[in-house]
Amino acid sequence: MNKDQKNEAIELLKSKFTQYNNFYITNTESLTVAQVNNLRKVCFDKNVEMKVAKNTLIRKALESLDSTKYEGVYSALNGVTALMFSDSPKEPALIISTFRKENKKVEKPELKAAFVADEVYLGDNQLASLVKIKTKNELIGDVIGLLQSPAKRVIAALLEKGKKEEAGVEAPAAE
């Protein structure tokens, strides 16, 4: 790889790091070509971009963007590295978990690090935590559910009162 190719690769990586709020650094070293192709297909289907790059190029791209913001992930840049870029904070974690379950004898891809919403998660032991992260839409749904709950109780109470009045049963007086 000559200097121009390296600079081009760094610029491509910089654009991906800028485009996506979340990225995962994984190790896919012991996977077969067929397994890697299958993983790429799953990523594509789930709108996750997977890129393999040299660690030094990844580091240079991150340092040129913001050396202190990303310094927590530098220790994960060793060995074979595949990057997973996603708008969803948990989709790559779900892909990794599902891939491992479907390929029972495979312990890869291994999570080396994840950068999610300006937080760094180091090590494969963080995968379970990342799978549980709620997406923006899930959080909005939770808030809407919480807001609807009191209204539903009031409506249910009014309906119950109306049924009792129709049946000729007097509702207890409010205190």
Q: Where do we find the tokens 């994984």? A: 26
Higher-pLDDT residue of 90, 175: 90
**pLDDT tops 70 at residue 171:** no
Mean pLDDT to the nearest integer, 25-36:
92
37 and 92: one domain?
yes
Residue ranges making up the domain that contains 141: 134-175
114 and 144: one domain?
no
118 and 152: one domain?
no
141 and 167: one domain?
yes
Q: Report pLDDT digits (tens) over 127-169.
A: 999 998 877 777 788 788 777 778 777 787 888 887 877 776 5
Taking the C-alpha atoms of residue 158 and residue 164, their distance in angstroms, rounded to an integer, is: 10
Mean pLDDT to the nearest integer, 14-27:
95
Domain total of the chain: 2
Contact between 23 and 114 (Cβ < 8 Å): yes
Q: Look up the CATH number of the domain holding residue 21.
A: 3.30.70.1730
Q: Report pLDDT digits (tens) over 88-100.
A: 999 999 999 999 9
124 and 164: one domain?
no
Our CA angle for 99, 110, 117, nearest 5°, is: 95
C-alpha dihedral sign at 50, 52, 55, 59? negative
